[in-house]
């Protein structure tokens, strides 16, 4: 989160940062579509449990995903902010 758009586009003045994890099933479905062969191969070698960012626990960062590869996806995640 940034205080202003100018600060965000200049990558300075960061207030908070979060990661968003996507459910594996949504990733498999999206990557199975045309044009994502390399990504599908990479996904087969990686998981959230082994990922360098998420391997210490991803449950609080796992979004709820709705939609389809053809129609698009929407991800929803409630993120608590603390100062």
Report the b/e string of 58-74 with b at 16+ CB within 10 A. Answer: beebbbebeeeeeeeee
- DSSP 8-state assignment for residue 64: E
Q: pLDDT tens per residue, the chain (83 residues)?
A: 667 778 777 766 666 667 789 999 999 999 999 988 888 888 888 888 888 888 888 998 999 999 999 999 999 998 776 66
pLDDT digits (tens, 9 = 90+) for 55-73: 888 998 999 999 999 999 9
């Amino acid at each position: 989160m940034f205080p202003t758009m100018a600060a965000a586009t200049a990558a300075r003045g960061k207030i908070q940062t979060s990661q968003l994890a996507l459910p594996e099933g949504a990733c498999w479905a999206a990557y199975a579509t045309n044009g994502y062969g390399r990504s599908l191969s990479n996904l087969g070698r990686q998981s959230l449990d082994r990922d360098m960012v998420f391997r210490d626990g991803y449950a609080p960062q796992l979004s709820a995903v709705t939609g389809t590869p053809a129609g698009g996806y929407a991800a929803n995640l409630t993120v608590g902010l603390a100062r």
